[in-house]
Amino acid sequence: MGKYRLLREAVEAHLPAIHVLEAPSASDGELALAHDPAWISAVAEGTTSAAQQREIGFPWSERMVQRSRRSVGATIAAARAALFGDAGEMGQGVAANLAGGTHHAHAHKGSGYCVFNDVAVAARLMQAEWHRRHAHRAHMLRVIVVDLDVHQGNGTAAIFRDDESVFTLSMHGAKNFPFRKEASDLDVELPDGCTDAPYLEALDQALASAWARHGDAPPGLAFYLAGADPHEDDRLGRLKISAAGLAERDRRVLRWLRERRVPVALSMAGGYGRNLATTVAVQRRTLEEALASWRAWQAVQEVGGEVGVKEGLKVGLKVGVKKVENEGANGGRNEGGTDSVRSPNPMKESGR
Ligand SMILES: [Zn+2]
């Protein structure tokens, strides 16, 4: 889809501190952490039924398989960069997928332009990698998913329904797709036409509530689906959030995580602006906020403190964005893509 190419070009032209990397492809073994083997092989071998393809919203093709694998791979790469960093480095704190956020995909099927659930796979894989490094610790890596795409993260909610190690927060339009919602750990439903002030107020309350519910076992990794589709000019969003409101949203989420030293992997998730340039501009702002948060995270690391954030000590030498050609069969409403970015270091992007 042109949207992802435009975003990548905007990042490369205007945010040179962000290091863009090519998205790797997720393997069957990685996908199996969140998906049924039968669904993985149906997609890989092209044996999905007409009904299954209809539910996804675009037809099967070899390119679709590659794009879906890379969209997951980019979120994995972003999460790994945020949490662990490259060999010999500390975790970068912030990284992104320039696409990703395929939150309607369930364990056994795709839906709503989503084939595989990038965040679900990456969350489980990071838990496994963390456990391998910290096997002496009794507890598991806890993960929080902050899904602010305007559509409910129903696939993610279903996959983690009985998994207490992953907290799912979804804030979405009450009357929007999917019309039959799943139960997340915390769902916040917004009325049609919701504007900036009540939106940001609901966000603050949701974050506070999510944190309180973790008790004395806080999350060690976050996934943030920074959907652009709550924007007022979105064709599918039904809300009235301004570009400035969305930038403030991103700032609040990223600051909230940073102040608690929770590394985060962003995904761009949905965005269906009447004008494509509007969606790309919103997503670019999101990446600007991510870059700023990455800098603040690094500054704290260098100072070795927990408090004082010294701005601008080190400007991103290597933000990682991953790219993947995503052309697209995704028609209009899709949220999915395939790039991964790392903020001045790792942010990756991929999917919806
Ligand atoms: Zn969406």
> Mind listing the pLDDT tens digit for each residue in 143-169?
999 999 999 999 999 999 999 999 999
The Cα–Cα gap between 10 and 158 comes to 35
3-state class (DSSP) for residue 96: strand
For residue 256, pLDDT beyond 70:
yes
For residue 283, pLDDT beyond 60:
yes
| Stretch 25-53: mean pLDDT | 97
| Stretch 210-218: mean pLDDT | 95
| Stretch 285-298: mean pLDDT | 96
Q: Which domain holds residue 315?
A: 2-342
For residue 299, pLDDT beyond 80:
yes
Using alpha carbons, list the distances in angstroms from residue 210 to 95, 143, 213, 217, 223: 22, 12, 5, 12, 14
For residue 325, pLDDT beyond 60:
no
Token pair of 99 as six digits = 């696409």
Task: Kindly give the distance from the C-alpha atom of residue 263 to the centroid of ligand 1, in angstroms, as a whole number.
Answer: 23
pTM here is 0.88
The Cα–Cα gap between 135 and 137 comes to 5
Helix (H) or strand (E) holding 248: helix 243-259
The Cα–Cα gap between 163 and 27 comes to 23
More confident residue, 331 or 72: 72
Q: Domain count for the chain, please give it.
A: 1
Q: Say if CB 193 and CB 242 are below 8 A apart.
A: no
The Cα–Cα gap between 162 and 160 comes to 6
Looking from the CA of 337 toward its CB, the CA atoms found within 13 Å total: 39
pLDDT confidence of residue 241: 98
One-letter amino acid at 280 equals: V
pLDDT confidence of residue 7: 95
For residue 122, pLDDT beyond 70:
yes
Task: Kindly give the distance from the C-alpha atom of residue 302 to the centroid of ligand 1, in angstroms, as a whole number.
Answer: 37
pLDDT confidence of residue 303: 64
The Cα–Cα gap between 280 and 256 comes to 24
Task: For residue 224, tell me if it sits in a domain.
Answer: yes
Task: Kindly give the distance from the C-alpha atom of residue 103 to the centroid of ligand 1, in angstroms, as a whole number.
Answer: 9
Task: Kindly give the distance from the C-alpha atom of residue 140 to the centroid of ligand 1, in angstroms, as a whole number.
Answer: 30
One-letter amino acid at 5 equals: R
> Mind listing the pLDDT tens digit for each residue in 225-253?
999 999 999 999 999 999 999 999 999 99
> Mind listing the pLDDT tens digit for each residue in 80-105?
999 999 877 789 999 999 999 999 99
Task: For residue 350, tell me if it sits in a domain.
Answer: no
| Stretch 60-66: mean pLDDT | 96
Task: For residue 307, tell me if it sits in a domain.
Answer: yes
Task: For residue 312, tell me if it sits in a domain.
Answer: yes
| Stretch 129-152: mean pLDDT | 93
Task: For residue 96, tell me if it sits in a domain.
Answer: yes
| Stretch 298-303: mean pLDDT | 78
Task: For residue 325, tell me if it sits in a domain.
Answer: yes
CATH number of the domain to which 299 belongs: 3.40.800.20
Task: For residue 94, tell me if it sits in a domain.
Answer: yes
Q: Which residues surround ligand 1, an ion (CB under 5 A)?
A: 149, 151, 227, 229, 270, 335
Task: For residue 349, tell me if it sits in a domain.
Answer: no
Mean model confidence pLDDT for the chain? 88
